[in-house]
Structure 1
């Protein structure tokens, strides 16, 4: 009997035209999730809808944008790793608008001070000053005019007795490492590639615990939550010991066992033994209330009362606020995180194959979320247990999970439920790590990521023979496009337009390459 497909089966087997368009867009490097924005030209009055790339760094959402972001990060890492001249960062001159904002804030501050001396209510003026500080930052100025305005709890900085001491060298005002001269007279300026990991929580095989019941999931979850703070401490200790303003480019990735670890390109070099000593001496203490024993769980949860906050549902006793809970802390922190014994330190020379390999390794997983590296049923079950351990761990002072342990979260509000925190630290794809995936020091390449992106744009426009003319800073006004706007074409049409434009660019670039290779062809 011949197996013949019905017309319906044949039709269902055909690919969707929209899916084909997306595949072609990916091949041509076109964003498959463009954001439609309306651009109003304040000079000519012309209004048009412009497709802006979504800019997602994750391949699962938009492969072309993720690939472009990875290439930008690789360029940023390469340009800053082996600098032989000090990066010069000169602040821009303030604009007239910035000067006016600061002068207006001075007037408001004077009125607030007069009102305070007279014993009046300053709440309205305080709100105005807070809004002005936000406006000052949005206008392109860093920091706060009056510095810190809130009191910060200070704890002793004395090192723990169980942590080794570190030497402290006199700081030199340089970001460049030492140079070495070889016997043949050549000068080398080596740098470092360092990998730091967390300690063991139990024996693992192929990324999953051999005995899940013996694996310390609670400690693993807390270490992941506070890993970014540990990295900050390492950089502080590194600069004290190195004696100069160490610059770095680092990425955070998951190990196969799902614990975060750090790859760091460091400008300059230090002895390997010293780097391992710094890692061993680095720790971070979390001075939070205890979160080991649950007081409220299930349906037995604190209730919200207007004016007082959350209270015990049985006794009506108001739970201690965040500040009151901190006042009751003892001499031991809730948690202390340290690096593990595995520290890898490698010397790297500029322009060497090792440098290129390290740069590729640094950016290897940037297009994937932490949870996208799961392989096999055992590892998926391990990830599920890890996420379950994270569910009720407090991730910040404002986390609703504090209610479970009898403490009101900072800035508590009605509707908070333990186990329902919206922070990305609790999302399965982040595996407890809520910090930035890429860590770049301020004086690394002397450019921001936006400036690296502009360099790429300038190169393309010059190759296409189009000048990237500077425009007035306030010439264009960008506005989001509302759903159903008649000026916005269907997504399929927008993709096809972008593909056609990208094809024209590439044809022009290929023609230019042919002319440069064979000038007589012109």
Structure 2
């Protein structure tokens, strides 16, 4: 009950109880945005409401979940960085559902071939086959069941004249780097930590251009859009020069100037001179249709016609499709890439030995900002008008840049986007790259090679769960995957208690866990003192 004797001004300064509950939940590592699920036990028939952590990776959404995800990534990075044995990756045996899908796909494939031999229309079968291929992928199988290629266009692989050549070594079937033997007989297997940046677009001070009018925002926007492809090319070149299957753990973070840059842990080591040569020689060419001429803007936009696509509003002519635009590009012998992206001159290269303070330092640096968004440097300077203006100019430069073949911005340049649909408008692309919080970068924040730690992220998460359960005295027992049936609980369900009540329950459970862990530590300490 509110104490009416206390002045209203004083009462308003008191913390809100529900907010205090959230703060306490954060202190105990409890998810503050739990998702309610209904769990049915098929053995007992019992139904209960279970809170599942939201799994957010950003601190702004849920600090406890973001912290757990960061710790999980740290464990993943630590386990794979200095491996001294080859990871053994054995494919799982296919289950019954996977076999059933492939058998069905074989029957459809036979019908497609029969229709082709008979000259019959196989459109329906082709659509069915595409749907089955998607189901096969969702069922947990890699690759394409028919072994066909994706049909992507391949241009000449001849290197640009303005890029240095790269040596090529014969590939060895290993993921481990070289070892070095010291005079005392000790064997070392060093690894590396590198930081790569994009080029300069103009002089900056405290992350803000000294002269915004000469700062190359267009190039900065395009470099950010295609940065993920540049990273892929760097890894290809790295393996080609190293001569073995180099494994890596990398994170993409924002610089103060709001451009993305790369931190990468590499298993094994290369001479610094060779690594610098790879950095200088790595580039990515964007072979997309030209965007020099703006054909449609403002209220003068292409019109959609069902069954046909987008039309020129003046002539009624059908705009070229994405594939047709690429055909025109391929037929032009004088065509130039829309954009070429490469790394800047600033980089950091460090050799790292397992178990040293430097290894811990760079591990923390790799994962330091994983709980922050790419636009976090801007959020940290909300009172800085110059920073806000700089970000606004970058977002505006990104506004009409095509981010992918399916981007609505292609209509601005008279081309139908790939998989065009009604309602598309230039400047209103919903792609990840065009969202202000991503600053043009649409790739993944964490990049991990397949043979890094010999474990999936789910397996690392299971290791963590097993350790906690064993410490609490509850050995992790294998469960029947078909025992429980999970269903999301609709919003507003009367069976779900208020959020504050659910958080209090979770906090109480964590308190019991902590008390158990504290007793366990005290018992171990006592045993150690007796042994001493």
Q: TM-score range by the shorter chain?
A: over 0.9
Equivalent residue number for residue 354 of structure 1: 358
Q: Is 1:454 paired with 2:458?
A: no
**1:225: which partner in 2?**
225
* SS across alignment from 2:162: coil
Partner of 1:11: 11
**Once the 2 structures are TM-superposed, how far is the Cα of residue 6 of structure 1 from its aligned partner?**
7.0
Q: CA deviation at 1:279?
A: 0.6
Distance in 2 (alpha carbons) for counterparts of 1:323 and 1:479 = 42
Q: Does 1:54 align with 2:54?
A: yes
Q: Once the 2 structures are TM-superposed, how far is the Cα of residue 147 of structure 1 from its aligned partner?
A: 2.2
Give the alignment of 1:422-433 within 5 angstroms.
422-433=430-441
Cα distance per residue 1:157-201 (max 9 Å; x no partner) = 111111111010000000000010111111110011111111110
- Whole-angstrom distance in 2 between the partners of 1:475 and 1:37: 15
Match of 1:367 among 371, 396, 401: 371
CA distance in 2, matches of 1:138, 1:252: 27
1-side partners of 2:303 and 2:138: how far apart? 39
| TM-score, normalised by the number of residues in structure 1 | 0.96
Instruction: Give the aligned partner of residue 133 of structure 1.
Output: 133
The answer (yes or no) to whether the contact 1:177–1:269 under 8 Å persists in 2 is: yes
- What CA distance in whole angstroms lies between the structure 2 residues aligned with 1:309 and 1:103? 37
Question: What is the match of residue 412 of structure 1?
Answer: 420
The answer to which of 110-119 and 263-272 deviates more is: 110-119
> Cα RMSD over matched residues?
1.6
SS in 2 for 1:317: coil
Unmatched tracts of structure 1, length 5 or more = none
Instruction: Tell me if structure 2 keeps the 8 A contact 1:402–1:418.
Output: yes
- State the alpha-carbon separation in 2 of the partners of residues 475 and 222 from structure 1: 50
Distance in 2 of aligned mates of 1:281 and 1:429 = 31
Q: Which ranges of 4 or more aligned residues in structure 1 deviate by more than 4 Å?
A: none
Residue in structure 1 matched with residue 160 of structure 2 by the alignment: 160
- Structure-2 separation of matches of 1:138 and 1:115: 28
Give the 5 Å matches for 1:264-343: 264-329=264-329, 330=332, 331-343=335-347
SS, match of residue 261 in structure 1:
strand
| Helix, strand or coil at the partner of 1:214 | coil
Question: 1:12-91 to 2 correspondence within 5 Å?
Answer: 12-91=12-91
CA contact (8 A) 1:178 1:269 kept: yes
Does the 8 Å CA contact 1:515/1:521 hold for their aligned counterparts? Answer: no
In the alignment, the residues of structure 1 paired with residue 286 and residue 351 of structure 2 have an alpha-carbon distance, to the nearest angstrom, of: 33
Give the TM-score, by structure 2 length.
0.95
Structure 2, unpaired ranges of 5+? none
Deviation at 1:521, TM superposition (A): 11
* Structure 2 residue matching 1:518: 3-state secondary structure: helix
Q: What secondary structure sits across from 2:349 in the alignment? A: strand
Give 3-state SS (helix, strand or coil) of 2:10's partner.
helix
Tell me what 2:193 maps to: 193
Give distance in 2, aligned partners of 1:377 and 1:187. Answer: 55
Question: How far 1:132 sits from its partner (Å)?
Answer: 2.2
Aligned pairs, number: 518
For 1:478, which of 479, 483, 486 is the aligned residue?
486
Q: Deviations over 1:436-463 (max 9, x none)?
A: 0000000001111111111000000001
Report if the CA contact (8 A) 1:86-1:175 is conserved: yes
Q: Determine which of 393, 401, 408 is the counterpart of 1:385.
A: 393
Cα displacement string for residues 241-281 of structure 1 (whole angstroms, at most 9, x for unaligned residues) = 00000000000011111111101000000011110100110
Moved more, 245-254 or 293-302: 293-302
CA positional deviation for 1:45: 2.6
**Partner residue of 1:491 out of 488, 492, 499:** 499
In terms of mean alpha carbon deviation, does 213-222 or 144-153 score higher?
A: 144-153
- SS for the counterpart of 2:436 is coil
Alpha-carbon shift at residue 238 of structure 1 (Å): 0.3
**Following the alignment from structure 2 to structure 1, what is the Cα–Cα distance between the partners of residues 204 and 511?**
49
Distance 1:253 1:126 in 2: 42
Match of 1:439 in 2: 447
Offset of 1:302 from its aligned partner? 1.2
Q: CA deviation at 1:149?
A: 5.7
